[in-house]
Structure 1
Amino acid sequence: MIRLDSLGQTFRDAISITKRFGVEFLWIDCLCIIQDSDEDWRKESLLMREVYEHSYCNIAATASSDGRGGCFRSRDARVVRPCLVNMTVGGQTQRYQLIDFPVWYQMFERSPLNARAWVLQERLLSPRVLHFGIDQIVWECNELTACERYPLGIHAPLPKIQGPRAMRRFMTTPDPESAVLENWSLLVQAYSACGITKDTDRLIALQGIVRMLQDVVRSPFSSGLWMKDIERQLSWVVLSPKLARRPSEHIAPSWSWASLVGEVKLLPAHGDLLVDEVPGEGIFKVLDIEKSPGGSLTNSFVSHAQLLVRCFLVPMDLALYDWEDVSDDPVEAIPDDPVESLAESPDNQMSAPRAPALVSVNRPVRALTRN
């Protein structure tokens, strides 16, 4: 028996909200999972998809930084009233509603709760999310994102990776697999920007989302990358190198974005240069992943592994620069041999560059050297 007065304010508020919904059961991770039990944690962490996907509603104390902050706050009710003005345009007077476009980011995307990695999974998997913000309540579901100020729907442009609607949009498109692979970079960037208490949970906190997406993506998943698109997903960059760090424990191979703690961006694809359309003619192809003994965290998350690849090799000298000194390309490569021209394909040569040529490794090109 857990005494109500022994719980933090957020948990007490969640119990009150659950009762008002008429719902009998409430899941609270730190109460439903045996603390300091690795065995129970491993078992329950694999079930997060089922917990949130089949829930009635996810209660989010979005403005609270911990379990003591609670869901409810004193507020000025006038703040959430819509601002309506009459304007005359072309001789016709109409009533307009003024919309604060940054409101969503200020209240929610930058809130203490949504800065946590585990919460992104909860938002994406839950069919409904009820946010208790700093001055109003916000509702997210598969059909609508609304708040007290905009009860008919928030008109501001919302993040593409946001709430239950994001998952439904990916899963219900005519080609859901392509939709997932095309938007995986957005999810990685949003997720990697979040903080997490234990570095070893960095990939585990993503597992529920991965399991759901595997319903439509016909591809193995390893260490944060989809094998079907691994050639493209190996191209990533840390957005704030000075803030990034290696995790306290080795949790992913160095070729995975998860091997670093910090916000990461997967770079956009450049045409079909990495696609092996003609057998043996691809510029870069991953043939296999060789897992090291004892290097597996789960079936999907491998901590130690080597890539077996087939690619063209060009001798290069890497020149590293401070992030502030470059705009898009933090690493450039200088070929040892003089370069005659650069081309995306032998039939599409560009003008000859000045020597020595600088070839950005972020943009895959083929260097045609003099014989």
Structure 2
Amino acid sequence: MTIPGCGCGCGIEDTSICIPYEANYRSKILWDSLSNTYQEGIVVTRKLGIPYIRIDSLCIIRGDPDEWQRESSRMASVFSGAVLTLAATDAEDGNAGLFLTSLEPPIETTYDEDGAPTLLQSPAADKLLIHVSFLNSRAWSLQELVLSRRTVHFTTNQLYWQCKELFLSEDGLIQNDTFASSQQDFMHQPLDFSKTEVALEYWWMWVKDYSTRKISVGKDWVPAFAGVTEYFSRETGLTSIYGM
């Protein structure tokens, strides 16, 4: 299980400077020292019966450039190998937590002339809200969501399930959506890497999306995209040349 992004409450992405490293973290981490997002992520992980959760800002030792270099280069395997990624999609920092609000029950009313009941749900599910969310404005989150096999999005009004096969909303208004309708759908869908021209089309869409995102530490522009680059090179056999 993984949680993308910072989440410590400081609102920045350079986890090497936002989490004070304590020597006793190797033996224990006090529950009260964790942000709401991390606490709720651990609870969800336990409820699902998954024994481990990876939280980058607790796994990477602060102030150790060698460890940062080593761990940041492993992001492709970390997220592609995780059973599930928990995304605090609408949380602006780690204090917000995963469960921002609960889904309000629908209202039953009579709308049709034949008197058949109609259920009204507001706000209705909309996968576009995922793409314009706070999480998806951050540079690091692109590779985390592209590489993850399964992602649960925790938003301000409901949960969304996203994987490479379909997209589902908690209210049931979006069911078995296979991402066939818009350019934003490229993030999670089966890709046919056997055709170079098709693969390159997705590559340029990833690059275009990434170039619009925000990053807190300028030197992280390459590492934050390295997982996508590694994934693309592995699947296509093409070699990337940075800076060109």
Q: TM-score range by the shorter chain?
A: 0.7 to 0.9
1:219 Cα deviation from its structure 2 partner: 2.6
* Aligned partner of residue 57 in structure 2, secondary structure: helix
The residue number in structure 1 matching 2:199 is 180
- For 1:148 and 1:132, locate their aligned partners in 2 and report how far apart those are by CA, in whole Å: 10
The residue number in structure 2 matching 1:9 is 36
Summarize the alignment of residues 261-276 of structure 1 with structure 2, pairs less than 5 Å apart. Answer: none
Note the residue ranges of structure 1 that are not aligned, 5 or more in a row.
Answer: 224-251, 257-371
Distance 1:155 1:218, change over 3 A: closer
Distance 1:83 1:3, change over 3 A: farther
Aligned partner (choices 57, 68, 89) of residue 41 of structure 1: 68
1:183 Cα deviation from its structure 2 partner: 2.4
Give me the identity figure in percent: 26
1:17 Cα deviation from its structure 2 partner: 0.6
The residue number in structure 1 matching 2:144 is 122
Contact 2:105–2:121 (8 Å) recurs in 1: no
Larger Rg: 1
The residue number in structure 1 matching 2:185 is 160
Q: Which amino acid aligns with 1:162?
A: M
TM-score (norm 2): 0.77
The residue number in structure 1 matching 2:100 is 73
TM-score (norm 1): 0.52
Q: Output one character per residue of 1:232-277: Cα deviation in whole Å (capped at 9) or x when no partner.
A: xxxxxxxxxxxxxxxxxxxx5xxx5xxxxxxxxxxxxxxxxxxxxx
* Aligned partner of residue 236 in structure 2, secondary structure: coil
Summarize the alignment of residues 159-308 of structure 1 with structure 2, pairs less than 5 Å apart. Answer: 159-163=184-188, 165=189, 168-171=190-193, 174-175=194-195, 177-223=196-242, 252=243, 256=244
The structure richer in strand per residue is: 1
Structure of higher RCO (CA pairs closer than 8 Å, 6+ residues apart):
2
1:148 Cα deviation from its structure 2 partner: 1.3
Aligned partner (choices 166, 189, 207) of residue 144 of structure 1: 166
- For 1:219 and 1:67, locate their aligned partners in 2 and report how far apart those are by CA, in whole Å: 38
1:203 Cα deviation from its structure 2 partner: 1.4
The residue number in structure 1 matching 2:79 is 52
- For 1:83 and 1:161, locate their aligned partners in 2 and report how far apart those are by CA, in whole Å: 37
Aligned length: 212
* Aligned partner of residue 219 in structure 1, secondary structure: coil
1:16 Cα deviation from its structure 2 partner: 0.4
1:38 Cα deviation from its structure 2 partner: 0.8
Q: Output one character per residue of 1:287-317: Cα deviation in whole Å (capped at 9) or x when no partner.
A: xxxxxxxxxxxxxxxxxxxxxxxxxxxxxxx
The structure richer in helix per residue is: 2
- For 2:142 and 2:110, locate their aligned partners in 1 and report how far apart those are by CA, in whole Å: 34
The residue number in structure 1 matching 2:127 is 104
Distance 1:170 1:199, change over 3 A: farther
Contact 2:61–2:68 (8 Å) recurs in 1: yes
Q: Give the CA RMSD over aligned residues.
A: 3.0
Distance 1:129 1:155, change over 3 A: closer
Contact 1:99–1:155 (8 Å) recurs in 2: no
1:83 Cα deviation from its structure 2 partner: 9.7
- For 2:110 and 2:221, locate their aligned partners in 1 and report how far apart those are by CA, in whole Å: 45
